[in-house]
Amino acid sequence: MKKLINDPDAVVIESLRGMAAAHPELRLDEEHRVMFRADAPVSGKVALVSGGGSGHEPLHAGYVGTGMLDAAVAGEVFTSPTPDAVRAAIDHVDAGAGVLLIIKNYTGDVLNFQMAADMAREDGIAVEYVVVNDDVAVEDSLYTAGRRGVGLTVLVEKIAGAAAAAGKSLAEVKALAEKVIAQGRSMGVALTAVTLPAVGHPAFDLPEDQIEMGVGIHGEPGRARVPMAPAADIATTMVDAILADYAFAGNDAIVMVNGMGATPLVELYLFYGEVEKLLATRGVEVRRCLVGNYITSLDMAGASITILKSDDELLSYWDAPVNTPALKNGVAPAATAAPVPAPRAAHAAPAPAEAPTPAESDAAETTDAETASADVTPADDHTVTLGQLEEWVRRVAAAMDKHKDELTELDAAIGDSDHGANMARGTAAAAKRLGHPAPTSISGLGKSVGMALVSSVGGASGPLYGTFFLRFGKQAGTGSALGVKELAAAFRSGTDGVAFRGKAAPGDKTMVDVLDAATAALEKSTGTMADATRAAADAAATARQATKDMIAKRGRASYLGERSIGHVDPGAASATLLFEALADVVSGK
């Protein structure tokens, strides 16, 4: 597979640098991979931030500019950005009038953006968010993580961006975005599979004579694999699926026919012609349209159709001036008239191979962390000390590393094979951060570990485990020792935080099953700290095994429905390691 790249692992940052070089009206925060308006923050204006995994260009950075987004956060290819990056984006653009986050409905994106929103709110910034979920190929009943966010995202960003530019309040811009989400639907089709730059071969096998009807923007399976057919027939299937889901008939509409990356415009216009004819016969009047590559899936061939029921309000915002790299209309000025030097300077920044990731830069300074000999002597046999908890974090990192392949295999069965790498990377970063500076209280320890996980894990488990440790620390307080009851309360607070953020309950086949069972064992224990933590580890192991027979109701595994039965949940397995490590530290093993 030939690709116009240098290093498969540096595609995202190198592409962003190129975009910043091509568009001096934008600026790039390299560390956080945030593209933002050079003239941000724009005084008095509600700021719009979106983002998500890369590979969907021009979404999202291509929509940063006047009349649309103020900032876009780029994750790895098809992987959500972390909350600290989203938080940095908020800081770049917040002008005091509030910030609206536009999130596509994927568990990882939703959790990481929500967490960034919470962090910003704690700092006194008014942040709201909306979640786009327009893909009719996905049934809510079957796919319990809900419908995927796809093409409608472009329309939400345009219309909400126009409202923000017109001086509307945060509440008004949010309400308008929600109206667009309520009235819009999409569906996609793939003619070929997608190839990730870091993988180098197609992600799935799609025979020459077959197409994937209802495909997602990451090449996820859709409704059905069907024989290849003329464009008119494909358009009929897709339009009818969309119209069956929402009452567009008898209404005006804004319609987008979007290319997935590798379908030429000659085909996209032909396809649009079919779509418009069909809509006319079904009583839908197309008032505005957009045809081109607006939300792609790397090099996948195929197209998607998005239909938005329109009225005068939506049409006027649709027609409002916009000036971004990928969407221009009317007479909107560029975000800044004079080119600014910043993107040029950024362009000359060190190559990504030399730019240390947070984890690596910590690694370079580990010596004092490793030599900072925490006092692991227990104060008494009913107490756990700060020093023991520091040792716990180091043992957890060692355990995740040791069990990395096992966690990866569990995730390969019902997820996307990254849980082992995610947890090993995240807990190593947490252990290394302990010495910079060494926490002086248990709340400080929780915060340090939580932030390390949040900023280095990504995916769904990063914000979940991050929340766990942040809440754990907050509940534990500023002391340097905890009794059994206090430790149980800290675990309960962390567990409640995970359940709340992930909307998961025990029985949903997630890490919550283990966190809840082990915490309950701690709460019940009346013995020494060693007895209590051993009981918690035993309860964790039992709960881990019990996830095997459950149907996954949350996260990626929920897309499998009943096919998730027969596999232990990867997050339940990693959570069990937390409790085993704690029992070992306390019992002096």
With respect to ligand ADP, which residue has the nearer C-beta, 181 or 464? Answer: 464
Give the binding-site size for ligand ADP (rule: CB under 6 A).
26
Structure-block tokens of residue 54: 């890369």
Instruction: Tokens 């992600």: give the residue.
Output: 203
Give one DSSP letter per residue of 203-234, joined into a string: SS---TTEEEET--TT----SEEEE---HHHH
d(CA 334, CA 351): 29
Measured torsion, CA atoms of residues 339, 340, 345, 347, in degrees rounded to the nearest 10: -40
Instruction: Tokens 């290849």: give the residue.
Output: 228
Residue 391 interacts with Mg ion (CB under 5 A): yes or no: no
Residue 517 interacts with ligand ADP (CB under 6 A): yes or no: no
With respect to Mg ion, which residue has the nearer C-beta, 9 or 416? Answer: 416
Distances, alpha carbon 232 to alpha carbons 198, 246, 273, 289, in Å: 36, 21, 9, 18
Least distance between Mg ion and beta carbon 419 (Å): 5
With respect to ligand ADP, which residue has the nearer C-beta, 195 or 422? Answer: 422
In the Cβ-directed half-sphere of 51, how many Cα atoms lie within 13 Å? 36
Residue 406 interacts with Mg ion (CB under 5 A): yes or no: no
With respect to Mg ion, which residue has the nearer C-beta, 111 or 160? Answer: 111
d(CA 294, CA 345): 29
Choose which of 263, 554, 567, 582 interacts with ligand ADP (CB under 6 A).
554
Least distance between Mg ion and beta carbon 322 (Å): 36
Choose which of 416, 486, 531, 538 interacts with Mg ion (CB under 5 A).
416
- Classify 237 as helix, strand or coil: helix
Least distance between ligand ADP and beta carbon 300 (Å): 21
Instruction: Tokens 């793939």: give the residue.
Output: 190
Q: What is the pattern of x (binds ligand ADP, CB under 6 A) and - over residues 62-101?
A: ----------------------------------------
Least distance between Mg ion and beta carbon 560 (Å): 13
Give the binding-site size for Mg ion (rule: CB under 5 A).
5
d(CA 38, CA 313): 29
Choose which of 260, 303, 431, 511 interacts with ligand ADP (CB under 6 A).
511
Structure-block tokens of residue 553: 């109701």
- Segments of 63-206 assigned E as strands: 71-77, 99-104, 127-132, 184-190
Least distance between Mg ion and beta carbon 145 (Å): 13
Note if 56 is an active site residue: yes
Structure-block tokens of residue 300: 């996948």
Give one DSSP letter per residue of 526-556, joined into a string: -S-HHHHHHHHHHHHHHHHHHGGGSPP-SSG
d(CA 449, CA 462): 11
Least distance between ligand ADP and beta carbon 88 (Å): 21
Classify strands 252-259 and 99-104 as parallel, antiparallel or unpaired.
unpaired
Determine contact, residues 186/104, Cβ cutoff 8 Å: no
Least distance between Mg ion and beta carbon 418 (Å): 4
Helix 386-402 and helix 404-414: axis angle, to 10°?
A: 60
Single out the segment in contact with ligand ADP by CB under 6 A; choices: 41-49, 292-300, 385-393, 502-510.
Answer: 502-510
Choose which of 320, 456, 555, 576 interacts with ligand ADP (CB under 6 A).
555
Distance of CA 352 to the CA centre of its chain: 22
Least distance between ligand ADP and beta carbon 86 (Å): 16
Distances, alpha carbon 287 to alpha carbons 185, 254, 256, in Å: 16, 6, 11
Choose which of 276, 411, 496, 580 interacts with Mg ion (CB under 5 A).
411
Residue 380 DSSP class? S
Instruction: Tokens 């990192």: give the residue.
Output: 397
Q: What is the pattern of x (binds ligand ADP, CB under 6 A) and - over residues 405-444?
A: ------x---xx-xx--x----------------------
Note if 567 is an active site residue: no
With respect to ligand ADP, which residue has the nearer C-beta, 412 or 438? Answer: 412
With respect to Mg ion, which residue has the nearer C-beta, 287 or 419? Answer: 419
Q: What is the side-by-side strand order in the sheet with 184-190?
A: 224-227, 210-213, 184-190, 302-310, 252-259, 285-292
Which candidate in 56, 403, 419, 567 is catalytic? 56
Choose which of 502, 517, 534, 578 interacts with ligand ADP (CB under 6 A).
502
Residue 178 interacts with Mg ion (CB under 5 A): yes or no: no
With respect to ligand ADP, which residue has the nearer C-beta, 419 or 432? Answer: 419
Which residue is at the shortest CB distance from ligand ADP?
571
d(CA 15, CA 9): 11
Least distance between Mg ion and beta carbon 221 (Å): 17
With respect to ligand ADP, which residue has the nearer C-beta, 245 or 513? Answer: 513
Q: Which does 512 bind (CB under 5 to 8 A by kind): Mg ion, ligand ADP, none?
A: ligand ADP
Instruction: Just list the catalytic residues.
Output: 56, 218
Site of interaction with Mg ion (CB under 5 A) = 411, 415-416, 418-419
**Chain positions contacting ligand ADP, by CB under 6 A:** 107-108, 411, 415-416, 418-419, 422, 459-461, 464, 498, 502-504, 510-512, 554-556, 569-572
